[in-house]
Structure 1
Amino acid sequence: MRFLISGGAGFLGSHLIDSINGEIVIVDDFSTAKYFQAKSNIKVIREKIERFDTTEKYDVVIHLASRPSPEDYMQYPVETALSNSLGTYRMLEIARKSDAIFIYSSSSEIYGDAEIIPTPEDYWGKVNPIGMRSCYDESKRFSEALAMSYYREYGLDVRIQRPFNVYGPRLREDGSYGRVISRFIVQALRGENITIYGDGNQTRSFLYVSDWVEATLKMIYTNGIKGQVFNIGSDKETKIIDLARMILKITGSKSNIVFLPPREDDPRRRAADIKKAKELLKWEPKISLEEGLTRTINWFRSVIS
């Protein structure tokens, strides 16, 4: 099989390609990639996905390209919105001309400040369309709408996933790219203050990257799921303050926890209703948060100074 993967050099893409058998073409501008290592069966094209075009045909087209870190996408809102609009259109057109399976990696952010926890796929969301986060969550919502339009008008085999806070080795930790787990881990290992936005009582549900890969492979190879949307995450809520304490315990760090002003429009709670994924994909997470954090911490010990 031939695979085209946008954003394949990023955190998620780098793990996915380790588990795919076939000919793989990656399109990535390397604006957020850090720990990618190319392999012999992979062709790498350095290009922004919103500018990419090809006449080659593929069996599976996977659109991962995006800036997922809040600090990063708020710093580059135009680039973020374009990768999830024009970039999605480009990838959909390639999939349509190839008659390929199209998998779009959306986000739990499309739910916004959800009023139903755990949140099911049929919840419409509560988002601010002009807020600081809108470049990301609204462009993800648009991409889902565009993908479903291709499914309804052209019969394209569209399959949408909504990942919930995936983490693990290779999750970038530096500058505006660092997300909550990688930032906390590196701060703890270096003895720096653990910085929490808000009071720490906001919750997230965290998914270890190998569980995400397994779910994505099931989405590729499962029959009869054309036009379906799946939450790919955990149904267990974790307070951010408890996450920080868990990382301090595992690392043995003496870092202090300090609190910063809350981010604008930061969702208060998040957890995934995964009944649909359990039923149709026969999938559910296997790696506990403590085990996943331990694996991730051990990896970061080996790469940071």
Structure 2
Amino acid sequence: MNNRLTALSGRHVLITGGAGLIGAVIGRMLEAAGAHVTALDNLSSYETMPTLLKADEHESGLRIGDICDEDLVRDLVRDSDYVIHAAAHSTVAGCTRDPETAFHSNVAGVETVLRAVADAGNVRRFLFISSAQVYGHGAAGSDAVQTFTEDQPISPLNVYAAAKAWGEWQTRFLLNAAGVDFTVVRPFSVYGEHQVPKPGAYSWVIAQFAMYAAIGDPLPLNNGGRQVRDFVHVEDAAAGICLALVGEEAGGQIVNLGTGRTTSVRRVAELIQTHFPDAQLCDAPRPAQDPLGGCADINRMSQVLGWEPQISVEAGIARYVDWLRAVPAAIPDWLRTEGDRVASWNTGAVPRI
């Protein structure tokens, strides 16, 4: 536990989406620091997940409910010193296929939480979890590897990213007017234990490749795996978010959360191969609009948080593989019967960021 998080000892922290991948890790870190954590979640992210991985509905601090339930949200916010908004309909493909649900979760829900925070008068800081997706193809376009900085223009390319960009602006608009302190963070490619791919979502390549290898399927390398990403382990992402909640210099800032290093998709496949020597790699065409990618500029993160991620991609992949071997039932049934992945990844696929 970072010593600076002891400032949260005895404080009440509300985490929307608190049963999700990132939210659950944030909650554990805050509880270890002595905070009283309430996790608000509708458990929708568990719909396609094996039963044994689902959140315990009787777990202390978990409130099952919808972020659009204004009365519930206002009651929880009134009892909170800090609010972290992690709830979202969180896959690009899912938002594209179901824009109504995306609007409910990623726009209407954000508005409900923000207005509750603005009106409460007791919240010390609100933290909005945005996404590196807001950068789109960046200033150099989709055919260049680049570094993304918080001050460059954003250019969202899909429903999910557009909602995150709107959430950033609405956070500034409403909370500046209300005099409430806030921080916006933009995590890059978060991965780690308990991450389970969703049907039709062409993302989370570390989890996908590990599961493909575990069931003996080949690992498809779109564009030969030349695309690069800034992979940040979920524990590092959660640590950065917790520090952004208490860091004095983080107030009013937009902060990237990444490692500042690029790792190619081919390198991910090769690292998976070290744990599954029989895994085969196969070339696949580059999906439409799949960017070569890049990494986070972490100068502001280092300055305002005084921190950098600690878990390397090599160590993080090893941890994921160990977890998967310990919990093989985490591999969903649909993934085992997915069909021709090369063909499906070449038809209407979306960027894996």
TM-score, with length taken from structure 2: 0.79
How many Å separate the matches in 1 of 2:176 and 2:250? 14
Count of paired positions: 298
Distance 1:65 1:264 in 2: 28
Counterparts in 2 of 1:1-305, with a 5 A limit?
1-21=11-31, 22-33=35-46, 34=49, 35-38=53-56, 40-47=59-66, 49-54=67-72, 55-56=74-75, 57=78, 58-99=80-121, 100=123, 101-115=125-139, 117-128=146-157, 134-176=158-200, 179-249=204-274, 251-305=275-329
- 1:265 & 1:211 partners in 2: Cα distance? 29
Contact 1:113–1:266 (Cα < 8 Å) also in 2: no
Letter in 1 for 2:263: T
Asked if the contact 1:25–1:45 (Cα under 8 Å) also holds between the matched residues in 2, the reply is no
Deviation at 1:8, TM superposition (A): 1.0
1:261 is displaced (CA, Å) by: 4.5
Q: Deviations over 1:70-92 (max 9, x none)?
A: 33333323322332211111111
Are the equivalent residues in 1 in contact too, given 2:256–2:301 (CA < 8 A)?
A: yes
Name the aligned partner's letter for residue 303 of structure 2: E
Helix, strand or coil for the counterpart of 1:271? strand
Amino acid at match of 1:118: T
| Matching residue of 1:131 | none
Cα offset for 1:172? Answer: 1.3
Write the letter of the residue equivalent to 1:25: T
Q: CA deviation at 1:238?
A: 1.2
1:11/1:172 contact within 8 Å kept: no
1:252 maps to amino acid:
F
Structure-2 change in CA distance of 1:257 and 1:81 (3 Å): farther
Letter in 2 for 1:5: I
TM-score, normalised on structure 1?
0.90
Q: In 2, Cα distance between the equivalents of 1:209 and 1:10?
A: 11
Aligned-partner SS, 1:265: coil
Q: How big is the alpha-carbon RMSD for the aligned residues of Structure 1 and Structure 2?
A: 2.0
Assess if the C-alpha contact under 8 Å between 1:6 and 1:65 holds in 2.
Answer: yes
Kindly state the Cα deviation for residue 173 of structure 1 after the two structures are TM-superposed: 3.0
State the distance in 2 between where 1:19 and 1:36 align. 19
CA contact (8 A) 1:8 1:26 kept: yes
Q: Which amino acid aligns with 1:71?
A: A
Equivalent position SS for 1:94: helix
Question: Percent of counterpart pairs with the same letter?
Answer: 26
Q: Is the 8 A contact 1:151 1:158 kept in 2?
A: yes
Q: SS state of the match for residue 13, structure 2?
A: strand
The residue type paired with residue 36 of structure 2 is E
User: Which is helix-richer, 1 or 2?
Assistant: 2
Answer whether contact 1:24 1:42 (CA < 8 A) is retained: yes
**Would the aligned equivalents of 2:136 and 2:155 in 1 still touch at CA under 8 Å?**
yes
